[in-house]
Chain A
Amino acid sequence: MTLDTVHLGLISVDESSTIDFPEGLPGFEDCRRFVPLRHPAEPALLFLQSLERADLCFLATPVTSVRRDYGLLVSPEDLDLLGLPEDSQPRIGREVAALAIVSLAEGEEPTANLLAPIVIRIDNRRAVQAIRPDQLYTCREELVAEELVCS
């Protein structure tokens, strides 16, 4: 299918490359389908374009590119939403992918939300924004400057 998006223009999307958030994201509960895209001009970033809202596109980056040693902690409720066993944590790059949403606030350094990573099950592409039950990371972790090139 072809999407006419506000920020990326016309993009063609294969059904099999979308990810599904059964409960949406906090603040965007009605947005349940996104497509992760890459752009050669920003190789460190992923673009999460909403299929429901042409004007909604999040910037994201793998959590391990922000903190190399990032360890997931997904609550039993979120594991249940993903349909994963509650007695073990999923592994990044094996059962799941984990992305941090990036914020570019006016006049501030870019930050990544490591408190609530987007956890995507690799086999069925079901996703949840999994808020950590601990306080090991914040929702505004600074990115290293060379990881993100802004105009």
Chain B
Amino acid sequence: MLVIRRHPGESIRIGMDIELEIIECGHNRVKLGIRAPQHVPVMRSEILETRAQNLEAAGAMPRLSAKVRSGDGCRPAPLVGDTR
């Protein structure tokens, strides 16, 4: 891994199209500005993991029993109260 020290206000380039600027450096967090072409997806790494998990979880319904899948008896769930 390439490691570079930078000050706030400085930036680095990845290829010709992507620019990463250090905007602010706090006690334990860094604020970054990212300029990239529209077709380059930019996201926090942990979102990728959650994205994969969501895609898998979206396939859970067909694995439940047919009893549930009939939908009979479905009712709105209150957000507080009967949550166990």
Residues of A in contact with B (beta carbons under 8 Å apart): 5, 7-11, 13-14, 17, 19, 25-28, 35-42, 44, 46-47, 56-59, 62, 64-65, 93, 97, 101-106, 113, 115-116, 120, 122, 125, 129, 131, 139-140, 150-151
Contact = CB atoms under 8 A, between A and B. Distances in A.
Interface residues of B, number: 39
A138 to B, nearest CB: 9
Interface of B: 43-44, 46-77, 79-80, 82-84
8 contacts: A10-B71, A11-B71, A26-B48, A35-B76, A38-B77, A64-B83, A103-B57, A150-B63
A113 B75 contact: no
A102 B66 contact: no
Given A8-B69, A9-B70, A122-B80, A27 B54 contact: yes
